[in-house]
Structure 1
Amino acid sequence: MPATTVRPAPPANQDVTTSIARTFDDWKHLVAESFVPLSAHTADADGFKGILRSRVLDRMSIIEVTATSHEVHRTPALIARTGERYFKLNLQLEGTGLLIQDNREALLQPGDLAIYDTNRPYTLAFEEQARMMVVMFPCDALTLPTDYVGQLAAVRMAGTTGLSGIVGQFIRQLSENLDVLGGPSGSRLATNALDLVSTMLHAEMDIAPDRMKPQALLAASIREYIDANLADPLLSPASIAAAHFISTRHLHNVFHESGITVASWIRSQRLDGARRDLRDPLHAGKSVSTVAARWGFLDAAHFSRTFRDAFGMSPTDWRRS
């Protein structure tokens, strides 16, 4: 995400939406509206059936997909039409699915997980009726660098053991309780889900470190350090570089490869934390300036301007909305 990008205010958590495709043309429209622009094909348009159940939790969308045989494609032309970059995490619930990205193929059985990047071409194919959960979120919602996650695109993560099994069960429980995931509790669960996904991806790195580039590992370590020190008003490129025994120039180069500056990453993470706290009943008795200070913003006026620039409304209006 470029440093100059202004993010729209995240929507309030939305109720569950159920959409039924009466025709395959309906389905093509539904998947394009619910995810990112996609092209869809099937060999049995007359017999096709598809249902989407979805809910927005903060900046994350959870979508249950049930459909008969078909495939979807994310092409370079469609990618060029999209603004924000997303990751999608698939949990296969029934049937099988084939995910293809970056010359890798992941054949997903029930319980398996796989992650992929909407900014690069991919194909999803289902030879028979299948059901899956898709968790979609902006790339900057993870503390992990985008190029690191990209090295795990279309890598099957077995849902029977280890952390992938725990994450799979958590997402399955979310899918079975979409109707009750509202308000601040839903936002906290969304944050917890993304933390679990990050932990799972770290575990994959530990299992196969030879797949990971040293620069990606350094970027992951740096972002973890930033995340742990967001409350420190003295957090700066110089202090981050010193903690990792690198020059500030090297630090800026690490972030440059991800298309974002160090300062803008720190700012976006602080703003997201403050935004969550302003809606959290646990912090309802705290002033806006107190919440801001908790995330490293010591100047209330500066925080208010920065918040408005990022989300299009003042912190007070966001808290009341």
Structure 2
Amino acid sequence: MRYSTSGVADTPGRPFDLEVWRSTVARTVVPLEIEELGDVTFQGRLSRTVVEDVSLFEMVATPHMVRRTPDLIADDEPRFYKLSLQLAGSMVLEQDGRTAELRPGDLAIYDTHRPYTLAFPEANQAMVIMFPHELVDLPRDEVARVTATCFPSDAGLARVINPFFVELGRNMDQLAGPHATRLVHSGLDLLVTMLSQELHRRLGPVANPARSLAREVREYILDHLGDLDLTPASLARAHFISTRHLYTIFSAEGQTVSAWIRSRRLERIRRDLGDPLFADRPVSWVAGRWGLSDAAHFSRLFKAEFGESPTSYRERILGARRGRAAEIPQQSPPR
């Protein structure tokens, strides 16, 4: 697939000046320092689509510089990753001691909870997807190894995955229908697959046996989340290690094995509750599909994790999707 190297698409709506752009980005993305580059007066257009807790942005702007400084990062704020797909022009991303230069069709990931810099030296167009850390089935320290890494459109899995995101950006109207949740999560699953491949390429099984074992255990958990007997003891037996060693592996990553299993199960259940494919299935069936067969216990866990009952969540998400299916709301700049 070929991409434009200079043609920036014209998007509808009045362009934002720098002041409005700063306030809009701070309100809908995260607080950032933003400055013009060169002698060009800043102009930009921004559209946003929200699918549950995932935000998708299409951004078109003149040259500018973006900085996420330590002073702008609060310890208690939600933690997000951002996937940036360059559609026209170029971008230079810096984070975690690495620099990635993106050309049209390339993508990279970065973490809003750590400082980063984005430089757009020319007129540019990009799609940015912002999503919570919890939607990525990889430890944060491993994702930190591949931030500010360019995944070029003509190499490896990116030849398959990048075009998916390109087409998603060109067909944002498809995110107004009832199947938006499944579509977005399918894209994130593809991204995690690409990140996992890159981590395996860099680290390999020999570089750090303990880390390799931890990765193997996590993959086993994900493949067996629906098993009722998935416990630390069964995991240890399956990998011929002691439960004490299993606990040590996960404690090094800042989370117990039981907590990781629980969080992955709850995230899968939440995804299915918002999926029209399972709309006619009882909530208890969805929970049991992912290994939580005690309905009362599951309901307490879900509410503690997401702040509402599973039934209320399902009604809210599916109802909102049905309500938006006929029309995509247009966003206007703040007055």
TM-score by length of 2: 0.83
Contact residue 23 and residue 45 of structure 1 kept, 8 A: no
Q: 1:206 to 1:69 in 2, by over 3 A?
A: same
2:187 equivalent among 186, 193, 218: 193
Matched, 1:239 2:239: no
Contact residue 40 and residue 62 of structure 2 kept, 8 A: no
Aligned length: 305
Deviations 1:191-230 (A, max 9, x none): 1111101111122234433697554443332222111111
Deviations 1:26-81 (A, max 9, x none): 11112222222211112468711111122122332221111111111111111225
Opposite residue 310 of structure 1, the aligned amino acid is: E
Opposite residue 169 of structure 2, the aligned amino acid is: S
CA RMSD of aligned residues (A): 2.3
| Structure-2 separation of matches of 1:161 and 1:145 | 25
* More moved, 121-130 vs 241-250: 241-250
2:91 matched residue in structure 1:
97
| Structure-2 separation of matches of 1:147 and 1:158 | 23
Please list, as runs of the form range in 1=range in 2, the aligned pairs for 1:48-197 lying within 5 A after superposition: 48-80=42-74, 83-197=77-191
Q: How far off is 1:153 after superposition?
A: 1.2
2:285 matched residue in structure 1:
290
Q: 1:21 to 1:82 in 2, by over 3 A?
A: farther
| Structure-2 separation of matches of 1:62 and 1:206 | 28
Matched, 1:227 2:222: yes
Q: How far off is 1:171 after superposition?
A: 0.5
Q: How far off is 1:247 after superposition?
A: 3.0
Matched, 1:279 2:274: yes
Opposite residue 284 of structure 2, the aligned amino acid is: S
Runs of 4 or more above 6 Å deviation: none
Identity %: 47
Opposite residue 245 of structure 2, the aligned amino acid is: H
1:311 matched residue in structure 2:
306
1:254 equivalent among 249, 258, 271: 249
Q: 1:123 to 1:260 in 2, by over 3 A?
A: same
| Structure-2 separation of matches of 1:74 and 1:257 | 28
Contact residue 273 and residue 310 of structure 2 kept, 8 A: yes
Q: 1:127 to 1:305 in 2, by over 3 A?
A: same
Q: How far off is 1:117 after superposition?
A: 1.6
Contact residue 112 and residue 157 of structure 1 kept, 8 A: yes
1:31 matched residue in structure 2:
25
Contact residue 278 and residue 284 of structure 1 kept, 8 A: yes
TM-score by length of 1: 0.87
| Structure-1 separation of matches of 2:207 and 2:179 | 35
* More moved, 219-228 vs 163-172: 219-228
Opposite residue 42 of structure 2, the aligned amino acid is: F
Unaligned 5+ residue runs, structure 1? 1-17
Contact residue 117 and residue 153 of structure 1 kept, 8 A: yes
